Amino acid sequence: MPLIYAFDHRHRRPPRELAELLGGKGANLAEMASVLELPVPPGFTIVTTACRRYRDGGWPASLDVELGRHVARLERRAGRRLGDPADPLLVSVRSGARFSMPGMMDTILNLGLNDRSVRALARTTGDEAFAHRSYARLLAMYGRIVMGVEAAAFDEPFEAAKAAEGVDDDARLSPRAWKELCRSHKAAIRAAARKPFPQDPHAQLRGAVEAVLRSWDGARAVAYREREGISHDLGTAVNVQAMVFGNRDDRSGTGVAFTRDAATGEDRPYGDFLVNAQGEDVVAGVRITQPLAALADEFPDQHAELLAIMDRLEAHYRDMLDLEFTIEQDRLWMLQVRVGKRTGVAALRMAVEMTTDPAIRLTRAEAVGRITPDHLDQILHPRLVGDDLEPVATGLAASPGAAVGAVVFTADDAVAGAAEGRSVILVRKETNPEDVHGLLASAGVLTSRGGLVSHAAVVARGWGKPAVVGAAAVEVRERSFAVGDVVVAEGDTISIDGSSGEVIAGAATLVVPEPPPEFDTILSWSDQIRRGKLAVRANADNGPDAARARAFGAEGIGLCRTEHMFLHEDRLPVVRQMILADTPEAEAEALEELRRVQHLDFTEILEAMDGLPVTVRLLDPPLHEFLPKVADLDLKAATGGLSPSEERLRRAAIDWAEENPMLGIRGVRLAVLKPGLYTMQVRALLDAVRDRIEAGGRPDVEVMIPLTVSAAEFELARSWVVEAAEELDITSNLLIGTMVETPRAALVADELARHADFFSMGTNDLTQMTFGFSRDDVEAKMMPAYVERHLLEGDPFHSVDVDGVGDLVRTCVARARAAKRRIPIGVCGEHGGDPASIAFFASAGLDYVSCSPFRVPIARLAAAHAVIAQKEGRLAGANADR
C-alpha cells in the first residue's frame, strides 16, 4: 500500500471516511480538493501507516522514493521547484491525526527557503521585508521543532528588534531588522545545535517530516490523548502543502471561521482574521484579530465567496464546521476544514435545530449522537452571582462557565497548586501547546492576548474549562498582573466568567445555571431511543437525593445504601449502643430505635420515588466502620486516659477489627452473626411501605442482600425477609434479590437465579476481587503508572475492564438467563455512570444501570448512544477506540 497520496487522488471511498488512514486534516483536504473541487493549494498526505512504521522501526525504507515522486508532482502542479534560486516553491509541513488534537503536535511553514532562495523570493514579490520575515519564521520554527533549540533564543531577539524600532506589529519591522533576525537565528541554531541550519530544501523536508512523526510521542500530545481517551497506537499523518501567503501584502490575510457560533450555537458564521498575517498568528493570539464580519469591508468579494463555500461545506458534512482560509493577493484559498468543537450549550442547540434545517435534516437519533457526555457536563457549569461584581477587566468570552481560584502564572505552578487541592486560575499573555498540562489542572484560564480561536480558547472549550481571552487591559508580569492601578499578585484570588468575559478581583459566589430547553429535548429523545432496552436508575440514600434523582429523569433507585442512614450525627451513638449491647434486651432496644429512624428515611425515599422501583440494600459494611479507630483511642489512652464508655468502645473496636475488612465479616455474613439486624431493617422498610399505601401512594420496593456467594446463604437471608413480610402481611410484589460482587457469585449465577428475584452487579467490589486490587491503596499510587506503561488498558475502577470484570459480567448474565426464570439484572456503583461502561453493559444484555443523581442525565444519553450503536452493528465495548 502507498505511504503517500496526493490531495486530488481519486479514492474508492469518500476521503472524509478515510481519516484513519489520511488523518483528519488530510482526509478533509482531499474531500475539498477531489470531491468538492474547492480552491485548495496542492499537496499530499503521508499516511498514518508511515508514522506507525516509524515508531516501530525508524524511517520507512520506501518513504524516500515516494516522497521524491510526490514532491516532483507537486512542483509540476505549482509551476515552481523546491529550492529554486530563481522562483522557489515553498511548502508547509503539518501534522494531522485521525482525531483533532489542536496545537498538540508540530507545524513548520515556509519550508524551502535558504540563503539563496530568500533573495529570489524578495525579487519575485518585490518585498524584501516579506521575504526575510518568511525566512526568519522558518528558521525559528525549524530550529525549535527539528533541531531542539529553545524558543527563547528566537523570541528574545525578535522582541528586542520590535522594541528597537518602536513597533508592536511584526509586519511593520524594516527589511534590515528582518535580515538581522535571520542572521541571529542562524547563529542561535549553530550555537545550540552545534550544526548549521540545512540549506538543502530536500534535507529540510526530510527533517520536518521526521519531526512531525516524532511529535506524535511528544509530552503534550501524549497528555492530550490520555485526557481525551485517544489510542496512542493510531499515529499521525503528515500533510505537505504548497504555501500560500496571507502575509504577502495588505491585499492578503488569513483567518479561522466557524459555520455557526461554537459558543452559543447560533446559526451565524463567526471567526477571526488578520490582514497581512499567516495562519499561526491567528491561533497563537500574538496579534489582536478582527471579527469575521469585518472581512466584508476589507475583502468584499472574498467574503462573499467564503460564505458561499461555508454554506456548501456545512450542507455536505451536515454539521457545524471549523475552517481555515488564506487570501493571497485577493485570491481565496481553503487550507483546512473539520467538524468544529463546540460548547455544551452550542452542541444542544445545533443538534436540535439541525433536525429542522432543510439543508441538513438530522434524524433524532443523529441529533442525540451529536451530543457527548462532556457536553451535558458543561451545561451544569457554575456561574458567578452577586450585585456587587465589578469587573476589573473584560475580555472575550471564549469558553462558558465560571471559576474562582488562586492566580498562577505558569503551567507547572498550576499543576502543583491543583495537586495540593487548590482551585487555580492560569493567567498568561497567551497560552501555547506547552501549557496543556497547566490548562488541564486549572479551574479556568485568563489571557491578555488572543481571539476566540486562539489556543487557549479552543482547548478550554474542548475541555469545558471557563476561559477569558484577549483581555487587553490585563498587563501580565512575571508574578503578578495589573489592570491600571489594580495589582493582583500570585496566589491572590480572582473570579472569571467565561460566558461574559468578565474578570473580577476576589472570590465571587458560584451557582449552577438552569439547563437550556434543548437539554430536556435531547434527553427526551434519548429516552425514546433506549425505552425498553436499558433503563437508568439512581443511587440515593435519602429523600432529597431521591427527589433530585427523579428530577434528573431517574426511573427508580437502583441502590439505596442503608448504612449511610446510620452515619448521621444523631444515629451513630445508637449504632454503637447496638454493637456494645451485652444482653439481648439491650440489643433489641437499640435495634428498635434504629428501626424507628430508618422507617422515617424509607418513608421519605418512597414518597419521592412513588410508583418507581426502589432497591434497598441491607447493611453491607463491617461493624468496625461505625467505631472509632483503635489507634486513635490508644493515643488518647496514653495521653489523657479513656472514660469508661470510651474503654468499652476500644474493646469493641479491637473485637471487631479485621486484617482484611473487604473480605471479612460484612454484608450477609454479618447478618448471619446478628440476624436481628436485617430483620430490623426489613421491618422499617415494610412499615414505610404500609404507611405509603395508606397515604394513597404506590410504593415499589426491592430488598437486596449483599455479598451472597451461595444459594444456601441467599435462601437463609431470604427467609428472614419473607418472615418479616408475612408478619406485617406485606408480601405482594415484594422482590428479593442479591448483589453480585464476588467472582464466585458470578460463576454460580444460575444457582442463585433459581431463588433470587433480581441481580445487581456490584462492579466496584467485583473489580477489587477480580484484580486483587485494594482500590483505596492502588488507585492514586499505582494505577497511573500501570496505565502509563500500558500494563492495563485503563483504570478498571473507572471503566469496566472488558477482558476481566467484563467476562464475569457476561458469564453472570448468561448463567442467570439459562436458569428457568428470567430475572432483571442491573448494575450499580460508579461504573453505572461511566459512558464506556454503559456501552458494555448494554452489549452484555443488562436491564438497567444505576449511578449518582447528578450522573443520571449522562447515563440517559450514554444508554441511548449504546442502543444506537447496537442497532448500527457497531462494537459497544468499554475499551473501543474513540
Contact predicate 259/320, CB 8 Å: yes
Backbone angles phi, psi at 823, to 5 degrees: -110, 150
All three cell numbers of 618, joined, read 441491607
Which residue type, as a one-letter code, is found at position 115? D
Separation between Cα atoms, residue 403 and residue 843, nearest integer Å: 39
- Here the contacts of 61-69 (C-beta below 8 Å, separation 24 or greater) are 62/3, 63/3, 63/4, 64/206, 66/2, 66/3, 66/4, 67/4, 67/205, 67/206, 67/209, 69/4
Separation between Cα atoms, residue 670 and residue 575, nearest integer Å: 14
DSSP, collapsed to helix, strand or coil, labels residue 157 as helix
Candidate list 455, 599, 624, 755, residue with the active-site label: 455
DSSP, collapsed to helix, strand or coil, labels residue 613 as strand
The DSSP-derived string for 13-54 is: S-GGG-HHHHHHHHHHHHIIIIIS------EEEE-HHHHHHH
Helices marked H in 453-516: 455-463
The contacts of residue 756 (CB under 8 Å, 6+ apart) are 714, 718, 736, 737, 738, 823
Separation between Cα atoms, residue 332 and residue 302, nearest integer Å: 6
Separation between Cα atoms, residue 880 and residue 882, nearest integer Å: 6
Backbone angles phi, psi at 71, to 5 degrees: -65, -40
Separation between Cα atoms, residue 517 and residue 529, nearest integer Å: 19
HEC string for 532-561: CCCEEEEECCCHHHHHHHHHCCCCCEEEEE
Q: Is the dihedral of CA 451, 452, 453, 456 positive or negative?
A: positive
Separation between Cα atoms, residue 271 and residue 262, nearest integer Å: 9
| Neighbour tally for 610: CB within 10 Å | 16
Closest listed residue to residue 758, CA positions, set 802, 795, 692, 714: 714
Is residue 461 left, alpha or beta, with left meaning phi > 0 and alpha meaning psi from -120 to 50? Answer: alpha
For the question of residue 828 being annotated catalytic, the response is yes
Contact predicate 378/343, CB 8 Å: yes
Separation between Cα atoms, residue 95 and residue 30, nearest integer Å: 15
All three cell numbers of 38, joined, read 474547492
Closest listed residue to residue 127, CA positions, set 359, 376, 410, 328: 328
Candidate list 560, 812, 828, 851, residue with the active-site label: 828
Tell the burial category of 571 from Cβ atoms under 10 Å away from its Cβ (0-12, 13-18, 19+).
middle
Please identify which residue in the block is written with the cell numbers 545550540: 192
Which residue type, as a one-letter code, is found at position 419? A
Q: How far is CA 629 from the centre of its chain?
A: 39
Separation between Cα atoms, residue 616 and residue 760, nearest integer Å: 11
Element (H, E) at 394: strand 393-394
Please identify which residue in the block is written with the cell numbers 501534522: 95
Contact predicate 560/616, CB 8 Å: yes
Strands (E), 594-667: 613-617
For the question of residue 851 being annotated catalytic, the response is no
DSSP, collapsed to helix, strand or coil, labels residue 456 as helix
| Neighbour tally for 520: CB within 10 Å | 13
Closest listed residue to residue 6, CA positions, set 70, 80, 89, 94: 70
349 bridge partner residues: none
What is the set of active-site residues? Answer: 455, 828
